[in-house]
Chains A and B, each alone.
Chain A
Amino acid sequence: MIRFILADLKRLWAASLIIVLLVALAAALGVGITLQERALRLGSARAADKFDLVIGAAGSETQLVLSSVFLQPAPLPLLAGDVLAKLKQDPRVAFAAPIGFGDSFKTYPVVGSTPDLINALNNGAAPEGGTPAGEHDAVIGSAVDLTIGQSFEPMHGAAGDAGHVHTEFSYQVVGRLMPTGTAWDRAIIVPIEAVWEIHGLHAEEEPPGVPAILVKPKTIADAYRLRGEYRGDQTVAVFPGEVLTRLYATLGDARQVMSIIALAAQALVAGAIALITIAHVAQRRRQIGALRAFGAPRSAVFGIVWIELLTLMGTGIALGFLVGWVAVRLISDQLTRQNGVVLPVEFQGGDLGLALLLLVAAAVIAAVPALLAYRQPAVAALRS
């Protein structure tokens, strides 16, 4: 029986291929949406991991998170200069590090900050090469294409903007951070004082404002208290993880729409396959009649058609999972190259349920033409 089925599939290879590809396409669509959404969610949750509490000037909370966690370039309003100093004095704060945007080098954002931030990003370890000491010392993220010891002049404006080059000021790379799988892998971190100086602000007179401050509270209770205090008319305080969750609720709706589209596509494919296979059984009436005439039982005829179709659709489902995974992998790698956030593309236990569900659906769909074949009268073989 197995040999007959294989020979039969080989004989009908074109139709078989179409069925496999259609099923693979439908499965890949569903799997792709699930995996991509999961990759985005996990990847950005990991990216926000080290950012307990971010404080900025009153404005969009979402933009504050996108700018500080994902280094998305956008003009942020500045915090009053005394906020950073006040936070640094606060006994509930383990450290408070400014995040100053505005310059770039090639496609890498140049971010002004303090050693506390470098420590946090590098899990407390010293950067490879050395710790920055002077105003011209820069530390680079793992994905920055510079070598330790190299010098560069920052450009005013975000990466890709047509800004002018600050020829009057140059940095030297003194250290490199470990890979974090976040946007910060593409960042060049320089002393915040240097950023102020380049832009003509002088810390001695009056502390200049910064767009965002990363705060590490000592306890969870402190985190909530600090957030409460800094949520006001002048400042916003956010837990990035929470903002992301909110963002995903919105994205979740988009995902739902996509899922419905995928489901509709899958239903169309199921319908197309039902039609193809029913037509196919009609074409095979003589072959099926002959099998019966020579002594094959009806159950064998049902089994042959059912197993053939289930084999094809099962192959299609497996292929679809593979194609879906590869596609999401490629998309995610491209996204990682663009903004540094590593998106984990992985299957979870629940996906097995999806595979089983698809297989059950395939088994039911395959049963329709199999039943038709089962009911095919045996005389068909002798009529010409």
Chain B
Amino acid sequence: MLALTLDQVQVSYPGLETPVLDIRSLTVAAEECVAVTGPSGSGKTTLVNIITGLACPDRGRVLWGAEDIAALAEARRDRWRAETIGLVMQEFHLFEGLSALDNVLLPARLRRATGRDTLDHAHALLARVGIKRANQSTATLSRGEMQRVAVARALLRRPKVLIADEPTASLDPGHGAEVAELLLSLARESGATLIVVSHDERLINRMDRSLTLSAGRLANAAFAGLAA
């Protein structure tokens, strides 16, 4: 579906001597499932922001397929993200007072991007992630269920890319495993490229490959050979 290429990407903050993210080159193949690990503060969330187009790097190109999203204007980037990326975060960001179904539909509705089959798709996704009552109020869901609703929301517009930033970090191990399993199988079913930031060994082991960030730089085995 969509492959990612990072080329000479740097993110710096004023007052910090070294860039918080500094990646010469990185490629993720279409439909690949990649884990990103690294200690706290190593730049994982910054990387997610860059590859989802939530933020732009100071330098370099962020290519999804042939499109350099770093070069897009903000509104274009927002639209591109809405159409291309399914995002799951550590915090669920569900809106209290809305049902599970309405939460799944909200971003699409705000973008007026709901078609005839959207509602059916939302119901199917909720069933797939194991939420039995689509109209249940979000406030009464367990944390594991909340994250599963968030996964359904991420998949509503059939994204080509699924990105999750520590999706299981705030869940107990049992629920974490459920959510991890869902992310993997749903990505595989839909053929989406999957990039997950995680410390969860069981999840990392099931991915095709894992990248390790350290102080904003990639330090994984694939590049060890180059350094030698």
Could you list which residues of chain A lie within 8 angstroms of chain B, going by C-beta atoms?
1, 3-4, 6-8, 10-11, 286-287, 290-298, 300, 304, 377-379, 381-384
Contact = CB atoms under 8 A, between A and B. Distances in A.
Interface string B109-120: 111010000000
A295 B157 contact: yes
Given A382-B45, A382-B165, A11 B107 contact: no
B97 A297 contact: no
Given A293-B54, A382-B45, A4 B75 contact: no
Nearest to A380: B54
B78 A379 contact: no
A284 to B, nearest CB: 11
Contact of B98 (A4, A295, A300, A381): A4
Contact of B111 (A290, A300, A378, A382): A300
Contact of A296 (B49, B87, B110): B110
Nearest to A381: B93
A300 B112 CA distance: 10
Given A291-B107, A297-B78, A298-B75, A382 B54 contact: yes
Contacts of A300: 110-111
A297 B95 CA distance: 17
27 contacts: A1-B110, A3-B102, A4-B95, A4-B110, A8-B95, A11-B96, A291-B107, A293-B54, A293-B89, A293-B93, A294-B93, A294-B106, A294-B107, A295-B110, A295-B157, A296-B82, A297-B78, A297-B82, A300-B110, A304-B110, A377-B55, A378-B54, A379-B49, A379-B55, A381-B54, A382-B89, A383-B45
B109 to A, nearest CB: 7
A296 B107 contact: yes
Q: How large is the interface on B (under 10, 10 to 19, 20 to 34, 35 or more residues)?
A: 20 to 34
Contact of A378 (B78, B79, B83, B110): B78
B108 interface: yes
Interface of A is mostly: helix
A287 B81 contact: no
A377 B55 CA distance: 8
B111 A295 contact: yes
B89 A381 contact: yes
B165 A297 contact: no
B220 interface: no
A6 B48 CA distance: 32
A1 B109 contact: yes
Nearest to A6: B97
A315 B95 CA distance: 24
A291 B110 contact: yes
Contacts of A4: 95, 98, 102, 106, 110
B210 interface: no
Contact of B82 (A10, A11, A295): A295
A379 B54 contact: yes
Contacts of A291: 106-107, 110
A307 to B, nearest CB: 12
A298 B107 CA distance: 12
Nearest to A377: B55
Nearest to B92: A290
Contacts of B79: 297
B148 interface: no
A182 B149 CA distance: 70
Contacts of B110: 1, 4, 291, 295-297, 300, 304
A-B pairs with lowest CB-CB distance, top 10:
A7-B97, A295-B82, A290-B93, A296-B110, A295-B107, A294-B107, A300-B110, A379-B54, A378-B54, A379-B55
Contacts of A287: 93, 95
A7 B96 contact: yes
A8 B102 CA distance: 13
Contacts of A379: 49, 54-55
B37 interface: no
Contacts of A378: 54-55, 78
A381 B97 CA distance: 19
A138 B113 CA distance: 82
Name, among A298, A381, A382, the residue most crowded by chain B CB atoms within 10 Å (CB to CB): A382
A290 B97 CA distance: 16
A8 B138 CA distance: 13
Given A3-B102, A382-B45, A382-B48, A295 B81 contact: yes
Interface string B94-134: 01111000100011111101000000000000000000000
Name, among B79, B93, B102, the residue most crowded by chain A CB atoms within 10 Å (CB to CB): B93
A178 to B, nearest CB: 58
B10 interface: no
Contacts of A8: 95, 97
A294 B49 contact: no
B52 interface: yes
A101 to B, nearest CB: 68
A295 B113 CA distance: 10
Given A1-B110, A292-B78, A293-B54, 15 more contacts: A4-B102, A7-B95, A10-B97, A294-B93, A294-B106, A295-B78, A295-B81, A295-B107, A296-B111, A297-B79, A298-B78, A300-B111, A304-B110, A381-B54, A382-B48
